[in-house]
Amino acid sequence: MEAFKRIRDRVQDLLERLLDFGDRLHQQAREEADEFNSAQHRKDAELVSEARKEIWERTNAMNVHHLDSSVRASDRANLNSTQITEHSKLLPWLMVTALFSGFALATSVFCYISIHDLHERDRDEIVIMKNDLIRFRVQLMSNDALLLREGIKQPSDMWYGPEGNLEYGRKERPKEK
């Protein structure tokens, strides 16, 4: 892999040198006063350009130039400023979204724990209340039995108690015929 990288770098270097050489030949053709020499420099520049184009096409066909992921120093400043401005627009939204999702998660966990604890406490209180109700019913039945045995309470006093029975304590009237 290292040898392949060195070859790729040398091909890139060759392409850059051919471009520079072609540019120098064009510059010499513009500066040349003699037409023949000027035409010769242009032909040489075209040959260099053709050679550069052929090398570039062959490396492009082999996908050699795509393996270079490094950024040149001249492109770094422009690239960094572009990345900062693009990401600086997105970063606040990402942070707000992360904060809201974290808050929602924490709230849901807190609510779950609170509801679970309340449910457990309510279930315990219901069990205690059922036991108290059973004890109260047993005590009420025993009290009713005592009151019935002593004659204080009549069987018709089940819902109203002795005070609710209007005929309690009255003597029975003889029935009219």
Instruction: Give the per-residue pLDDT at 64.
Output: 47
What per-residue string of b and e applies to 40-79 under the rule 16 or more CB within 10 Å gives b? ebbebbeebbeebeeebeebeeeebeeeeeeeeeeeeeee
- Count the alpha carbons within 13 Å of 174 in the hemisphere toward its beta carbon: 2
Residue with more model confidence, 144 or 66? 144
pTM greater than 0.75 (yes/no): no
Look at 21-35, 97-111, 141-155, 162-176 and tell me which has the smallest mean pLDDT. Answer: 162-176
Instruction: Give the per-residue pLDDT at 87.
Output: 59
- Provide the strand spans (E) within 4-76: none
Instruction: Give the per-residue pLDDT at 61.
Output: 74
Each residue's pLDDT tens digit, 109-135: 999 999 988 888 888 888 899 999 988
Residue with more model confidence, 151 or 161? 151
Instruction: Give the per-residue pLDDT at 106.
Output: 95
Each residue's pLDDT tens digit, 45-104: 888 888 888 888 888 776 544 445 555 555 555 555 555 556 567 778 888 999 999 999
Most confident of 34-38, 131-135, 156-160: 131-135
Instruction: Give the per-residue pLDDT at 65.
Output: 45
Q: Is the pLDDT of residue 174 over 60?
A: no
Average pLDDT over every residue of 135-164: 71
How far apart, in whole angstroms, are the C-alpha atoms of residue 64 and residue 130? 83
